[in-house]
Structure 1
Amino acid sequence: MRISNPVLSGFNPDPSIIRVEDTYYIATSTFEWFPGVQIHESKDLVNWHLITHPLDTVEFVDMAGNPDSGGVWAPDLSYADGRYWLVFSDVKIVDGPYKDVHNYLITAEDIRGPWSKPIELNGVGFDASLFHDDDGRKYLVQQTWDHREYLQPFHGISLTELDLKTMKLMPQTARTIYEGTDIRLLEGPHIYKIDRLYYLFAAQGGTTYTHQEVVSRSRSLDALSFETQPGEVFLTNFDTPRSYLQKQGHGSLVATPRGEWYYASLASRPWNRPQESSIDPRGWNPLGRETAIQKVQWDSDGWPHIIGGHGGQRYVEAPQGVEEHRWPRTYLEKDDFDEPALNINFNTLRIPFSDELGSLTERPGFLRLFGREALNSRFTQAHVARRWQSFNFDAEIKLAFNPWSYQQAAGLTSYYNTRHYSMIEVTWDEKRETRVIEIIENNRNHLRSYLKDAAIEIPDDIEFVYLKVKVRRQTYSYAYSFDGSTWIDIPVTLDAAILSDDYVLQTMGGFFTGAFTGMAAVDYGGYRIPADFDYFRYTELDTEE
């Protein structure tokens, strides 16, 4: 067996990996998408299976109004004292001198829950993790934020002890233990105690093509006691521009039962337009930051190294003595909405799916969405979507929708955030007094309607309209059908780069998610008219990218 990277395709960044007996778990960031935190399970580090989202009600995380790429950052999953511990951040400000972070802790005896009510810990910085020392003491380790304009905002890695009786931090114990290197932008810390030494793994360089993971160590947890690993950096693709994986860095370490070591990190797979250099710009990543796993070896001085070099490898040797364990698929290619709950792969924005947004029972066999706010809204979008997880796929819906105003629309989305998305929609043309199919695109918050007066008229006797998006790596397009078998391609080709971290980064500070495709209903006139979706089909056209 071998590990084929990325092991978690599509938007799955900031992996926190642990092993409990013979099972591995990875928790990843979800930002403004609800429910919060994805947890995948594996028996062999090769095959992974999505099993749960711990933050599944507003009691755990309330993100209404959160900015794009705010919300749930860098969850830290650990296991100690017979319990799973999960630390996560809810980030309320992304741009500007302040971050306004709320860090929480929840626990559970079973990885699938129930999870305890959140305990708010502090807000001094994001990317918090919990270190369980072998003497029973526990510490919160975190990036520390500094708003002062004359100092570095990433103010080192701090450590604060947790009082296990009150489950509150003891701020009088807080100290900075590591300030990083001249690369700066230090974040994503995790501490491990190995052979009586404390090892601190942390990311630096920013989560772009300059991203990297740096290792330091100390014999104590005293202030500024950690020393940086000499020689080359532990993991980076800054100087490996032609590597299949890019942006590797932020992640965590795990040991197998036989004492082999692996490191799970975020990674991206960029593509370039034909006329572009493969080095600058290094590429565009609509799939967002994914999760990759590299194998680690330790040298005679007790320092870790990525096998194959600090640029990592696409294919990695799997653990020894483990049989391959394949999981049943959690997502059927076609979802007919016959179940009373959404499939685990579907997400909503900022708030949970509820009667406020729609219903799976009002019209049996359909997902009914009530028209709500526009796709620019940070509060109440009736929008159910799933990640892009392949460079080449088709997604298709069957929709019944009867608008009577141009302020009403429902259809199939391709979405990055409130400023970058497109939609093939059924809406109303008041001049022709008929339903029409239109394509809209929001690019840096500038809306464009592609068809305008040439919007496609829907015959009065047609109840269902079939809509499709066809993603082909660098571009994507839309098609429609009135019978579900004869498809008509609309001659509008859209640039997939607009739905990438790299494009959004050019004008915004929040660029941490990935492209989604899904179903949406808009009625900003406030009448909440329903849109009924009979099915959603997602078909990947290749597996070897």
Structure 2
Amino acid sequence: MSLPVIRNPILRGFNPDPSIVRVGEDYYIAVSTFEWFPGVQIHHSRDLVNWRLLSRPLTRASQLNMLGDPDGCGLWAPCLTHADGRFWLIYTDVKRYGRTTVGGASGASLRDFHNYLVTCDTIDGEWSDPIYLNSSGFDPSLFHDDDGRKWLVNQLWDHRPGKNRFAGIVLQEYSSNQQRLVGERKVIFEGTAIGLTEAPHLYKRDGWYYLVTAEGGTGWGHAMTMARSRAIDGPYELHPDTYVLTSRDRPHVALQRAGHGDLVETADCDTYAVYLCGRPLPNRGRCVLGRETAIQKLVWGEDGWLRTLDGSGDPTLETPAPNLPARPWPVASAREDFDGPDLPIDFQWLRTPYPDEIFSLAAKPGSLRLYGRESLGSVFRQALVARRQQDHCYSASTILDFEPEHFQQAAGLVCYYNGAKFHYLHVSHDEAIGRHLRVMTCTPDSPQADSFTAPIPLAAGPVELRVEVDFERLRFGFRQGGQGAWAWLPEVFDASILSDEASAPGAPNFTGAFVGMACQDTSGMAAPADFDWFEYQGREYVTAPTNL
């Protein structure tokens, strides 16, 4: 009889920077959401094998307002812990991340990271308003020591010329009574030679303080590093193998970009690491599913250091499951009919904490109504509601009821990464041909920033829209009347542009591909578009695709 295993990744699609905590029999993982609102995704499991998306805790403007946050900014690297009978959540709101010109000069070294703390007695309850912590860097993490003291660690950002911008990990005490950081901050770890030291987490075991960090950047050179000290403020000695887990310079492993990890211990004292990873497309080498979350069983050696089971440090597609009864969750329906008062949990929107300005589930009961707002890619108010792409191959479809009056009004089905990378099948209006359907594509690696297919005239009435994605191939189709075959547009689009890798070097690209519904009205009249349902179905393929 084969032993039970966990198959990676456990959180498919854009789910990066995992932080894990066990409370009794329950395990929770918090992950980054960047510019997507509400902020932070919390997933729940009782066996480490089966996971469900449980909640998003940052739902109010007082907790998170990302209006104006650039692409790739917003909510970074949450840290979820449990102590003193409540949950503690630390997070960063990034307001600026380089690649911005100031007076015609590059401002890549100037960045703004604001770190906050919220708490809640229950994991899925109403979380508190935030306590401001600091702005000295990103990836903050809270450590609860066994003497009752609490400590914040975060990456220190140094913008000065000639300096290491990733200036190390800083430690400072947090006072629960004063609700602020107290005492002096101290650099406790400067990292290794590969640099880009970030994502700190502290643990205590057998009288040692262990510090886990991520290094090498969140791309192909990513790694999970460990150091330890008898005193919380150091000095810290480096793991004898340097890296606990990495796919750096290891093209043979299926899970690439591995790093940014956190540790959890089961009731049986087994140790598991959760970490982010990427699954490149077979031909293009781009991770359209973004940075996903994997889990792996590790073991403590006689020398007091943590290693993978085989000591190689390789991330694996499978890992032994803990000795726990299986706790599967109900399988979610592929189709959402928008019949309830709340947006289905798989869906998010961009930046704004005021969803009533961009959509309604009550204006036309049984439908999702989007109000046409700013252009696709706006960093303020755009009406785009979408869900993660979680499979290399999938089908998605919806039905749109929309009667645009002129060319500044559009609505449709969008495959979206950010404001510079999307494929958009939309209905609009032209004074010469009337209501019509076409695709707008925005590509980061083409001499022409955006392009349009030829318009296809449409009859009045609702229109069904469909997208088929097979690895790097993307095709759009449509039909009216709800019967008969789909009419497929002749163009085959490049799905691989919806990835971190399809970008200029150094640009902030840390999310993943989404598919969903959008509506624009750049005349300012907020023309509504109604979507009666949305369906997403992933597919598995046995053989790899051919190149485009």
Equivalent-residue separation in structure 1 for 2:7 and 2:27 (angstroms): 16
- Aligned partners of 2:20 and 2:262 also within 8 Å: yes
Moved more, 240-249 or 3-12: 240-249
What residue number does 1:144 align with? 156
Give the TM-score of the pair, scaled to structure 2: 0.94
What residue number does 2:256 align with? 246
What residue number does 1:57 align with? 60
- Aligned partners of 2:19 and 2:261 also within 8 Å: yes
- Aligned partners of 1:438 and 1:449 also within 8 Å: no
What residue number does 2:463 align with? 465
Q: How does 1:367-516 map to 2 (within 5 A)?
A: 367-432=368-433, 434-444=434-444, 446-452=448-454, 455-459=455-459, 462-485=460-483, 486-504=485-503, 506-507=504-505, 509-516=507-514
What residue number does 2:297 align with? 295
- How far off its partner does 1:239 sit? 2.3
Q: How does 1:58-457 map to 2 (within 5 A)?
A: 58-95=61-98, 96-170=108-182, 172-222=183-233, 224-273=234-283, 283-308=285-310, 309-320=312-323, 322-329=324-331, 331-352=332-353, 354-432=355-433, 434-444=434-444, 446-452=448-454, 455-457=455-457
Equivalent-residue separation in structure 2 for 1:3 and 1:89 (angstroms): 30
Secondary structure of the 1:207 match is: coil
What residue number does 1:25 align with? 28
Q: What's the CA shift string for 1:146-179, capped at 9, x where partnerless?
A: 0012110001000000112111001x32101111
Equivalent-residue separation in structure 2 for 1:5 and 1:219 (angstroms): 34
- How far off its partner does 1:429 sit? 1.9
Q: What's the CA shift string for 1:161-220, capped at 9, x where partnerless?
A: 0112111001x3210111111111000000000111000000000000000010000000
Secondary structure of the 1:159 match is: strand
Secondary structure of the 1:501 match is: coil
Q: What's the CA shift string for 1:272-305, capped at 9, x where partnerless?
A: 42xx7xxxxxx10010000000110011110000
Equivalent-residue separation in structure 1 for 2:361 and 2:40 (angstroms): 24
Task: List, as ranges, runs of 4+ consecutive aligned residues in structure 1 with deviation greater than 3 Å.
Answer: 445-450
Equivalent-residue separation in structure 2 for 1:354 and 1:503 (angstroms): 30
- Aligned partners of 1:193 and 1:199 also within 8 Å: yes
- How far off its partner does 1:238 sit? 1.0
Change (3 A) 1:400 1:267: same
Secondary structure of the 2:423 match is: strand
- Aligned partners of 1:287 and 1:514 also within 8 Å: yes
Equivalent-residue separation in structure 1 for 2:505 and 2:533 (angstroms): 36
- Aligned partners of 2:368 and 2:531 also within 8 Å: yes
Equivalent-residue separation in structure 2 for 1:355 and 1:72 (angstroms): 21
- How far off its partner does 1:507 sit? 4.7
Equivalent-residue separation in structure 2 for 1:508 and 1:32 (angstroms): 18
Change (3 A) 1:71 1:255: same
- How far off its partner does 1:539 sit? 1.0
Q: What's the CA shift string for 1:66-96, capped at 9, x where partnerless?
A: 0101000000000011110000000001111
Q: What's the CA shift string for 1:29-79, capped at 9, x where partnerless?
A: 000000000000001100001110000111110100001010000000000
Equivalent-residue separation in structure 2 for 1:447 and 1:397 (angstroms): 27
Change (3 A) 1:293 1:89: same
Equivalent-residue separation in structure 2 for 1:16 and 1:355 (angstroms): 31
- Aligned partners of 1:27 and 1:37 also within 8 Å: yes
Secondary structure of the 2:489 match is: strand
- Aligned partners of 2:478 and 2:486 also within 8 Å: yes
What residue number does 1:280 align with? none
What residue number does 2:104 align with? none
- How far off its partner does 1:362 sit? 1.1
Equivalent-residue separation in structure 2 for 1:22 and 1:83 (angstroms): 16
- How far off its partner does 1:384 sit? 0.3
Secondary structure of the 2:515 match is: strand
Equivalent-residue separation in structure 2 for 1:448 and 1:209 (angstroms): 29
Secondary structure of the 2:243 match is: coil
Change (3 A) 1:544 1:387: farther
Equivalent-residue separation in structure 2 for 1:524 and 1:544 (angstroms): 44
Equivalent-residue separation in structure 1 for 2:281 and 2:359 (angstroms): 37
- Aligned partners of 2:139 and 2:155 also within 8 Å: yes
- How far off its partner does 1:232 sit? 4.9
- How far off its partner does 1:542 sit? 2.3
Percent pairwise identity? 45
Name the count of aligned residue pairs: 527
Q: What's the CA shift string for 1:460-511, capped at 9, x where partnerless?
A: xx3110100111111111001112332011111111111111112x355211
Equivalent-residue separation in structure 2 for 1:483 and 1:213 (angstroms): 54
Equivalent-residue separation in structure 2 for 1:151 and 1:354 (angstroms): 42
- Aligned partners of 1:450 and 1:492 also within 8 Å: no
Q: Which runs of 5+ in 1 are unaligned?
A: 277-282
Equivalent-residue separation in structure 1 for 2:300 and 2:87 (angstroms): 28
Equivalent-residue separation in structure 2 for 1:450 and 1:114 (angstroms): 44
Change (3 A) 1:543 1:218: farther
Q: What's the CA shift string for 1:97-133, capped at 9, x where partnerless?
A: 1221110000111001221110000000100000000
Q: Which runs of 5+ in 2 are unaligned?
A: 99-107, 544-548
- How far off its partner does 1:449 sit? 3.6
- Aligned partners of 2:64 and 2:353 also within 8 Å: no
- How far off its partner does 1:406 sit? 1.0
CA RMSD of aligned residues (A): 1.4
What residue number does 1:279 align with? none
- Aligned partners of 1:143 and 1:154 also within 8 Å: yes
What residue number does 2:522 align with? 524
Moved more, 481-490 or 48-57: 481-490
Secondary structure of the 2:241 match is: coil
Secondary structure of the 2:526 match is: coil
Letter in 2 for 1:201: V
Equivalent-residue separation in structure 2 for 1:496 and 1:543 (angstroms): 16
Equivalent-residue separation in structure 2 for 1:13 and 1:417 (angstroms): 16
Equivalent-residue separation in structure 2 for 1:264 and 1:194 (angstroms): 18
Change (3 A) 1:544 1:23: farther
Equivalent-residue separation in structure 2 for 1:149 and 1:33 (angstroms): 33
- How far off its partner does 1:544 sit? 7.6
Give the TM-score of the pair, scaled to structure 1: 0.95
Moved more, 8-17 or 522-531: 522-531
Query: Structure 1 residue aligned with 2:6, among 3, 28, 43?
Result: 3
Secondary structure of the 1:173 match is: strand
Letter in 2 for 1:503: A
Equivalent-residue separation in structure 2 for 1:442 and 1:252 (angstroms): 36
Secondary structure of the 2:501 match is: helix
Letter in 2 for 1:136: G
